[in-house]
Amino acid sequence: MKQFKSLFLTLTAALFLAGCAAPPVVPQQSASPAAIEARESAGITTPALDDPSVKKVGLDIDDTVLFSSPAFDKGYEGAQAYTDEFWTIVNRSDEEVSILKPKTVEIIKAHQQKGHEVFLITARNNSGGEALKKFMSKTLDIPESNIFFAPSGKTELIKELGIDAFYGDSDSDIRYAKEAGAIPIRILRSPESGYKSSYNPGSLDEFIVPDSE
């Protein structure tokens, strides 16, 4: 009987120690949508993405969304500069020759993932503009109704649309944003751009998106 009791106590102690040595079982949890979004947006930080009050954002097109110098080159080759014919050539050439700027595309996607409404506002003339609108809409998933031509200035349109933050490459874009009460954010211009004027990054105390050339 003593031998049986001793064996029982030994087995009980062994089982207890084995249970203590086993690693705890941690239930696995699936990643939340917020965590997935944070990973997808890693490395993309702008005041507009960090500010919870931002619901609508606007972006310039030339040298902001598109490296469009090749389209302008076609316009200069085919017509007198800045005529309706010139703008028709430029606006119809983007899909063929202009290049989307990767960092800006990532920023647009990050805003869309947050449920923000995105607008595009260009200073181009609207001659032939339907081609540009269709290209931008299908490429960036932005409604054509959210794409505007504003050759006379963007301040009032930014106000009317209720845009909270505006991205642009030129000094004028930053000024328009400030005048409209929107957060001004600078996208760096490609050194290969044919447009060299109105470009002094940081001169207006705006946020500059790094590596956005």
Domain boundaries, the chain: 45-68+101-209
Rg (the chain; Cα; Å): 28
Residue 62 known to be catalytic: yes
| pLDDT tens string 120-166 | 999 999 999 999 999 999 999 999 999 999 999 999 999 999 999 99
| pLDDT tens string 22-52 | 333 333 233 234 533 543 445 688 999 999 9
What is the pLDDT confidence band of residue 75, given thresholds at 50, 70 and 90? Answer: very high
Q: What are phi and psi of 102, to 5 degrees?
A: -55, -45
Closest C-alpha among 45, 199, 23 to residue 111:
45
Among the options 50, 51, 60, 173, which is catalytic?
Answer: 60
Among the options 50, 51, 62, 211, which is catalytic?
Answer: 62
Pick the CATH number of 45-68+101-209 from 1.10.10.10, 3.40.50.10190, 3.30.70.260, 3.40.50.1000: 3.40.50.1000
Tell me, yes or no, if the pTM score tops 0.85.
no
> What's the token pair of residue 158?
């930014």
Range 55-81 burial, b when 16+ CB lie within 10 A, else e: ebbbbbbbbbbbbbbbbbebbeeebee
Residue 50 known to be catalytic: no
